[in-house]
């Protein structure tokens, strides 16, 4: 199958997750293109699509949301999976014990899910390299609570990404055989 893995990444962590997913799908025998959402062009030439966007302050990147909205009909007509990346830090739960992947779902996600009915969605932990930050983001890190708000490090859980990628591979079926998508 021809699979598009489209991503909207600000500092590269989401793009890294997209590349990882794309590699897993490619290893399973699918023809995969991993591209920024702004460079995908027509999506009708793909049999399936995975879309990922970074989440900042509770919102999916605008270019990821625009991609889904602009290609709504085409995406609704094929198997699609959505992922977000964004929570960062060593703590995997909030102060109430809730899984940060659950409470960190972008605010736009429910509307996007209703519009295209994806096969699955996932929130992954992200990464923060201070060298990649904008000037304003660097200033936030200098505030007393800034380093806690924007902790440095790579918090991506590659086993989680691998597990979700394997679910997509199973849903698509073996390359070269009719998939029950």
**Lowest-confidence range among 31-35, 58-62, 161-165?**
58-62
* Contact call for residues 105 and 58 (beta carbons, < 8 A): no
What is the domain extent for residue 29? 2-172
Averaged over 11-37, what is the pLDDT? 96
Task: Let me know if residue 48 belongs to a domain.
Answer: yes
- We report the CATH number of the domain holding residue 168 as 3.40.50.360
Task: Let me know if residue 162 belongs to a domain.
Answer: yes
More confident residue, 150 or 106: 106
Averaged over 38-64, what is the pLDDT? 93
Task: Let me know if residue 54 belongs to a domain.
Answer: yes
Task: Let me know if residue 178 belongs to a domain.
Answer: no
More confident residue, 97 or 66: 66
Task: Let me know if residue 66 belongs to a domain.
Answer: yes
pLDDT of residue 72: 96
Q: Say whether pLDDT at 127 is over 90.
A: no
The number of folded domains in the chain is 1
Task: Let me know if residue 180 belongs to a domain.
Answer: no
Averaged over 153-172, what is the pLDDT? 93
Label the pairing between strands 48-56 and 120-124: unpaired
| pTM for this entry | 0.85
The token pair that represents 151 in the structure block: 């902790």
Helix-helix angle 13-27:158-172, to 10 degrees: 40
Task: Let me know if residue 177 belongs to a domain.
Answer: no
CA dist., res. 91 & res. 158, Å (int): 16
**Mean pLDDT, the chain, whole residue set:** 86
Summarised one tens digit per residue, pLDDT across range 54-88 is: 987 788 999 999 999 999 999 999 999 999 997 66
């Amino acid at each position: 199958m021809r699979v598009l893995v489209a991503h909207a990444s600000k500092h590269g962590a989401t793009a890294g997750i997209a590349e990882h997913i794309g590699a897993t799908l490619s290893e399973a025998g699918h023809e995969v293109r991993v591209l920024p959402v702004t460079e995908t062009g027509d999506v009708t030439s793909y049999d399936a699509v995975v879309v990922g966007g970074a989440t900042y302050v509770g919102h999916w990147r605008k270019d990821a949301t625009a991609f889904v909205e602009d290609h709504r009909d085409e995406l609704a007509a094929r198997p699609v999976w959505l992922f977000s990346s964004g929570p960062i830090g060593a703590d995997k739960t909030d102060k109430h014990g809730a899984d940060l992947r659950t409470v960190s779902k972008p605010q736009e996600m429910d509307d996007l899910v209703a519009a295209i009915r994806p096969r699955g969605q996932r929130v992954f932990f992200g990464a923060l390299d201070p060298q990649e930050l904008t000037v304003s983001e660097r200033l936030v890190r200098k505030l007393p609570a800034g380093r806690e708000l924007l902790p440095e490090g790579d918090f991506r859980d590659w086993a989680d990404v691998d597990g979700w990628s394997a679910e997509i591979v199973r849903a698509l079926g073996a390359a070269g055989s009719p998939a029950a998508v």
